[in-house]
């Protein structure tokens, strides 16, 4: 087992410091994007940290922990994010719409990514950047004593710079009203990715759950073109490998595939079905 080095105050002020700053936890997703590849993740609905710990070691690039459609508290989120640090994976946190002040607390708990839902104005996207990034990119409040800074291990200047570099912001385009604004939203400085929400779009179009309807696919394509035209990334939720390939062909570099509880249920549904056939046999 590797020993954990300790440092005195004098050592932390020494030329060794730049090396320490470089050793702060880097974003897996941003590295993948820099390499021109696709980041793959899943939605974590379970509130049990054991599930998050297991998934963090699965080879996925990010775990999407949702606080918009769930019972999760910030305390629960912190426990899940701490469990995710066992593996090498980003945590993508989604607050509810207009919860700008909450985003800083999610980042302090260790999230690398912020997913903002149901964005329908340029001003909303600007507010997300404002409260997710430190000066000079934004106005995020400073603490520095949380898990994101390894509990105060690194000095303020290095911490804020590294946090800005490794925090990524994805804005969700989820309604027919928002699609025509996608290009302007993508152009907001500090926005890294547009994420098309097929579920909400299909519901707001009067076809809930029909994520493969021609209108929904056209909307996804429009959002993808807007993101790529602005030099940003395009992402979306996918439901099977054919759907994933279709979105990748549109240029997607952030794919969230299904959810842990859905996979869990499907595996056991199949197991029961198989054993039912075994009994009959």
Q: What is the DSSP string of 183-196?
A: HHHHTSTT--EEEE
Q: And the tokens for 42?
A: 């899943």
Instruction: Give the residue carrying structure tokens 């999230």.
Output: 111
pLDDT at 23: 57
Say how far apart CA 92 and CA 64 lie, in whole Å.
5
Instruction: Give the residue carrying structure tokens 């299904």.
Output: 258
Q: CA 233 → CA 63, 141, 212, 220, 270, distances in Å?
A: 18, 26, 21, 13, 36
Note the pTM of the prediction, 2 decimals: 0.88
pLDDT at 22: 45
Q: CA 132 → CA 136, 140, 257, 269, distances in Å?
A: 12, 6, 25, 41
Element at 177 (helix H, strand E)? none
User: CATH for 24-280?
Assistant: 3.20.20.60
Say how far apart CA 126 and CA 78 lie, in whole Å.
26
- What is the chain's length? 281
Q: What is the dihedral of CA 213, 218, 221, 226, to 10 degrees?
A: -140
The upper half-sphere exposure of residue 32, i.e. CA atoms within 13 Å in the direction of its Cβ, equals 21
Q: Which residues pair with 194 in a beta bridge?
A: 171, 234
Mean pLDDT, the chain cut into blocks of 10 residues (281 residues total): 38 44 78 97 96 96 94 92 96 94 93 97 97 94 86 86 95 97 98 97 93 95 98 97 97 96 95 95 78
pLDDT in tens, 36-76: 999 999 999 999 999 999 999 999 999 999 999 988 889 99
């Amino acid at each position: 087992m590797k020993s954990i080095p300790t440092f005195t105050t004098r050592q932390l002020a020494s030329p060794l410091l730049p090396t320490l700053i470089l050793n702060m936890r880097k974003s897996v997703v941003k590295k993948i994007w820099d390499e021109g590849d696709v980041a793959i993740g899943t939605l974590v609905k379970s509130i049990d940290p054991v599930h998050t710990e297991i998934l963090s070691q699965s080879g996925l690039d990010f775990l999407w922990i949702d606080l918009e459609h769930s019972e999760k508290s910030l305390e629960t989120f912190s426990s899940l994010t701490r469990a995710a640090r066992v593996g090498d994976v980003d945590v993508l946190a989604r607050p509810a719409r207009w919860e700008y002040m909450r985003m800083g607390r999610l980042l302090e708990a260790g999230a690398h990514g912020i997913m903002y839902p149901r964005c329908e104005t340029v001003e909303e996207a600007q507010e997300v950047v404002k409260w997710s990034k430190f000066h000079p990119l934004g106005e995020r409040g400073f603490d520095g004593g949380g898990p994101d800074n390894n509990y105060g291990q690194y000095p303020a200047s290095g911490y804020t710079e590294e946090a800005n570099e490794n925090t990524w912001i994805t804005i969700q385009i989820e309604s027919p009203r928002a699609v025509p604004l996608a290009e302007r939203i993508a152009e907001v400085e500090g926005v890294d990715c547009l994420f098309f929400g097929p579920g909400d779009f299909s519901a707001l179009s009067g076809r809930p759950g029909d994520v493969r309807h021609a209108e929904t696919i056209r909307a996804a394509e429009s959002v993808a073109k807007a993101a790529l035209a602005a030099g940003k990334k395009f992402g979306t939720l996918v439901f099977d490998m054919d759907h994933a390939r279709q979105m990748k062909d549109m240029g997607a570099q952030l794919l969230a595939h299904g959810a842990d509880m859905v996979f869990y249920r499907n595996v056991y549904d199949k197991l029961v079905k198989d054993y039912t056939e075994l009994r009959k046999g």
